[in-house]
């Protein structure tokens, strides 16, 4: 799940005052630069990707699974699986059973779990920039920026799209294109 946004990495700090379009690009560039390995992308984190893989396996099996079983089916590291499952359980997406016969299972059927819930359980609120959605930081340029309403619209459209997509929608094994975790 990637959204490509072309950015100009050569923008200089002094362009922030002269060109507000460039200001938005600079803000995005600074937010995304630490994650850049090629073209700048907005992407979900690896842990969120792993959460989707694990939840998809659980939806497919429709039963209770243990960490070792999920490790055998996905080849993800056991500590990573444990970390992801604990976050998902805290968010109410998984139900847990303790003891020798314990394990994890979906708290609701897969068609009732949307992608926003998974992303927010792992990474927090979806926010394209510091000034929209549930962003934790306050943008230093907010008072003089006329783009905030536009970023709010972009954020809203992305959030609505992800909210409309369900965990069950991601199962492509029916058409032979099932992807295993690496």
Tell me the per-residue pLDDT of 127-173, one tens digit each, with 9 for 90 and over: 877 777 655 566 777 777 787 778 888 888 888 888 999 998 887 65
Quick one: 35 and 65 in the same domain?
Answer: no
Q: How many domains does the chain have?
A: 2
Q: Which of 2-16, 79-93, 107-121 is least confident?
A: 2-16
Q: Which residues 6+ apart lie within 8 Å of 148 measured at CB?
A: 131, 132, 139, 142
pTM, rounded to two decimals: 0.69
Q: Which of 32-36, 61-65, 68-72, 119-123 is least confident?
A: 32-36
Whether 175 shows a pLDDT value over 50: the answer reads: no
Q: Are 73 and 108 in contact (CB under 8 A)?
A: no
Q: Which of 113, 129, 148 is the last residue of a domain?
A: 113
Q: Which of 77, 98, 113 is the last residue of a domain?
A: 113
How many CA atoms, within 13 angstroms, populate the side-chain half-sphere of residue 182? 2
DSSP character string of 122-157: HH-S--SSTTSTT-SS--TTGGG-S-HHHHHHHHHH
């Amino acid at each position: 799940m990637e959204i490509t946004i072309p950015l100009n990495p050569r923008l200089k700090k002094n362009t922030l005052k002269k060109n507000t379009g460039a200001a938005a690009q600079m803000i995005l560039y600074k937010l995304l630069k630490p994650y850049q390995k090629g073209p700048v992308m907005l992407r979900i984190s690896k842990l969120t990707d792993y959460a989707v893989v694990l939840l998809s396996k659980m939806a497919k099996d429709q039963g209770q699974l243990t960490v070792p079983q999920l490790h055998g089916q996905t080849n993800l590291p056991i500590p990573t699986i444990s970390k992801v499952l604990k976050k998902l359980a805290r968010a109410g997406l998984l139900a847990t059973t303790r003891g020798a016969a314990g394990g994890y299972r979906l708290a609701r059927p897969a068609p009732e779990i949307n992608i926003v819930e998974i992303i927010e359980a792992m990474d927090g609120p979806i926010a394209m920039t510091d000034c929209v959605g549930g962003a934790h930081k306050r943008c230093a340029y907010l008072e003089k920026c006329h783009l905030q309403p536009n970023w709010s619209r972009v954020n809203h459209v992305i959030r609505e799209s992800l909210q409309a997509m369900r965990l069950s929608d991601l199962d492509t094994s029916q058409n032979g294109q099932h992807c295993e975790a690496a």
